[in-house]
Amino acid sequence: MTEEIVTFKTAKLAKEKEFANKTPHKLRRDYYNHLGGLNGDVTEYVKAYVAKEKTEKYNTIDAPTQSLLQKWLREKHEIHIEIIPDESDPKSIWHTIVYPLFCLAEPSFEGAFVTYEEALEEGLQEALKFIEL
């Protein structure tokens, strides 16, 4: 079993919220190129870098696993994502609940999804919206 990598949309949002993958370089680190390709071609970035041109638009974006990003949200920002099965539904519908631990309010987001990974992905995107820089 392999862990799911977040989507390009989630990775971009995480980067905007200053998520930085602290995985040691000895281990494989996944990334998206500026076009959204997973571990994609960075030729244009290298060409611009070598030519001493601006490379901002070619920068890569860390592509963490869902669990790593979830842990960062919980430990750094105290935002909790809860995924629970709907036992009354025979199609195994999963429900996502997102709430910040710093305010004991009602959940801010609830959604129903077919797979656990889809539920977690949507929860990650909603949780990242709580972070204000």
pTM, 2 dp? 0.79
Which tokens belong to 17? 């919220």
**Any idea what the Cα angle at residue 57 is, between residues 76 and 77, rounded to 5°?**
10
Nearest by Cα to 127 from 92, 76, 85: 76
d(CA 130, CA 107): 12
* Segment (H or E) for 51: none
Question: Are residues 10 and 124 in contact, defined by beta-carbon separation less than 8 angstroms?
Answer: yes
> Per-residue confidence of the chain (133 residues) as pLDDT tens digits?
678 999 999 999 999 999 987 766 556 678 888 788 888 777 877 787 788 887 777 778 888 999 999 999 999 988 888 888 877 765 667 777 777 766 555 556 667 788 889 989 998 998 898 888 6
